[in-house]
Amino acid sequence: MSAHNAQLRVLQSFPHKIGATRICDTAWHQAAGVSATGTDLLVMSGAVQPDRPLPAKIQVRPTLARGKLRIPYKVLGQMRACKLHDRLVARALPKLADEIDLVHLWPLGALETLRVARKLGIPTVLERPNAHTRFAYEVVQAECERLGVSLPADHEHAFNEEILRREEAEYEIADRLLCPSEFVVQTFLDKGSRPEQLVRHLYGYDDQRFHPPSTQRAASEGITILFVGVCAVRKGLHFALEAWLRSPASTTGTFLIAGEFLPHYAEYLKDMLDHPSVHALGHRTDVPDLMRRSDALVLPSIEEGFGLVCVEALASGCIPLVSDACTDVCRDGENAFVHRVADIDALTAQLTALNEDRGLLQRMRDASLRSAPDYTWTEAGLRLVDVYEHVVAEHGPRRAPVAHAA
């Protein structure tokens, strides 16, 4: 790719093991996508997944690892590890100030660095991979109470005052909050954030892994529906299963679940999981193949940041059936079917329509594939660099550094 802006110099601070799973995978692709534009990139991460180094032209400085020696996150605990990473990046920043135009940070490992960057006059953007944390806690707790399902005390959506207090402090001091969806933007507006602080970008999919099948999918009597993700209340699997079992599609079709269950949630779902059309596969590493073998992906989340599986499904020819918490790339009736959060009747009707009208299924699959190239990680990198440039331009000339900022 030709250089997008070879002069822009960015520090990405990520407190976890970049290149591992979930947000660690997202951060890896972000860094690679930004670097591919020609941006001069320094990544300071807690550690790097050993079998997944970042592209060679990215400068990498792990904060919690030296060679093969790593500070064990499990021993420190997530919060202490994130704070230590933050402290080390904050201490390093004054010496880097003349080499950095913008700092991009991730939650829980950002507060001290944000303060130092402000003293140095360096603009900052804080990643928001999910909705406002207070909103997420509230809606997940309400749905858990409605279902009578309890969350483990250490679950990421179980209310944690320390995490919430730190994240809200980060929100307040960051120059901009990077929101990957309009849903995320709205949750911040609803909690009182300033509109001008919220900037949009998108995530993407790996087009080397996610692509349509090489041969046309064989016709079958029933449709195959796929759910991918952690099987927790937040993802709305209970809505999907109820809609599936209401639909005649469940008499001839197959509902696949790729993901691990929270124990109490699995107990709540037991009767639905026992239906002969439902197959719980556990954690899977062959998700791209599962998508290529499935007709549709269902994601009825009650709260979502972006829904990476949505764009992965588009690229695989697997039609997304999603709640309106997941609508930035999923457009109802165009490349996906969208229902209001918790609208089981609407989701049932959509499943039934795909089952009964194979022409509709093929048209929607073709539309999904046509829209997918707009959402690769390469495209996401270009969009993110556009955001960087905009934030730097708005910030104006750099103030003189404050002595002893660390």
- Each residue's pLDDT tens digit, 230-247: 999 999 999 999 999 999
Domain match, 353 and 265 both: yes
Question: Residue 72's pLDDT is what?
Answer: 73
Question: What is the rounded average pLDDT of the residues 114-138?
Answer: 97
Question: What is the rounded average pLDDT of the residues 305-311?
Answer: 95
CA 261 to chain centre: 19
Domain match, 195 and 259 both: no
Domain match, 293 and 383 both: no
Range name among 112-116, 305-309, 324-328 with the lowest pLDDT average: 324-328
Question: Residue 67's pLDDT is what?
Answer: 67
The amino acid at 48: V
pLDDT class of 398 with cuts at 50, 70, 90: low
Range name among 56-65, 67-76, 216-225, 338-347 with the lowest pLDDT average: 67-76
Domain match, 39 and 155 both: yes
The answer to whether residue 216 sits within a structural domain is no
For the chain, the domain total comes to 2
- Spell 42-74 as b/e; 16+ CB within 10 A means b: bbbbbbbbeeeebeeebebebbbbeeeeebebe
Domain match, 340 and 260 both: yes
Is residue 349 within 8 Å of residue 201, measured between CB atoms?
Answer: no
Is residue 136 within 8 Å of residue 130, measured between CB atoms?
Answer: yes
The answer to whether residue 219 sits within a structural domain is no
The answer to whether residue 262 sits within a structural domain is yes
Task: Please give the mean pLDDT across all residues of the chain.
Answer: 93
Question: Residue 2's pLDDT is what?
Answer: 37
- pLDDT score of 400 more than 50: no
- pLDDT score of 43 more than 90: yes
Question: What is the rounded average pLDDT of the residues 46-65?
Answer: 94
For 198-209, write each residue's pLDDT tens digit: 999 999 999 999
- pLDDT score of 367 more than 50: yes
The answer to whether residue 33 sits within a structural domain is yes
Question: Residue 106's pLDDT is what?
Answer: 98
HSE-up of residue 388 (Cα within 13 Å, Cβ side): 29
For 169-190, write each residue's pLDDT tens digit: 999 999 999 999 999 999 999 9
The answer to whether residue 4 sits within a structural domain is no
The answer to whether residue 215 sits within a structural domain is no
Domain match, 169 and 38 both: yes
Domain match, 303 and 316 both: yes
Q: What is the 3-state secondary structure (H, E, C) of the chain?
A: CCCCCCCCEEEEEEEEEECCCCHHHHHHHHHHHHHHCCCEEEEEEEEECCCCCCCCCCEECCCCEECCEECCHHHHCHHHHHHHHHHHHHHHHHHHHHHCCEEEECCCCCHHHHHHHHHHCCCEEEECCCCCHHHHHHHHHHHHHHHCCCCCCCCCCCCCHHHHHHHHHHHHHCCEEEECCHHHHHHHHHCCCCHHHEEECCCCECCCCCCCCCCCCCCCCCCEEEEECCECHHHCHHHHHHHHHHCCHHHHCEEEEECCECHHHHHHCHHHHCCCCEEEEECCCCHHHHHHHCCEEEECCCCCCCCHHHHHHHHHCCEEEEECCCCCCCCECCCEEEECCCCHHHHHHHHHHHHHCHHHHHHHHHHHHHHHHHHEHHHHHHHHHHHHHHHHHHHCCCCCCCCCCC
What is the span of the domain harbouring residue 162?
A: 9-204+377-395
Domain match, 18 and 155 both: yes
CATH number where 309 lies: 3.40.50.2000
pLDDT class of 403 with cuts at 50, 70, 90: very low
pLDDT class of 1 with cuts at 50, 70, 90: very low
Reading across the β-sheet that carries 59-60, which strands appear in turn? 59-60, 40-48, 9-18, 102-105, 124-127, 176-179, 198-200
pLDDT class of 68 with cuts at 50, 70, 90: low
Question: Residue 406's pLDDT is what?
Answer: 36
Domain match, 74 and 152 both: yes
Residue 128 CB coordination number (10 Å)? 29
pLDDT class of 341 with cuts at 50, 70, 90: very high
- pLDDT score of 290 more than 90: yes
Domain match, 194 and 336 both: no
Domain match, 51 and 185 both: yes
Question: Residue 116's pLDDT is what?
Answer: 98
The answer to whether residue 3 sits within a structural domain is no
- pLDDT score of 390 more than 60: yes
CA distance 118 to 360: 53
Domain match, 165 and 279 both: no
The answer to whether residue 218 sits within a structural domain is no
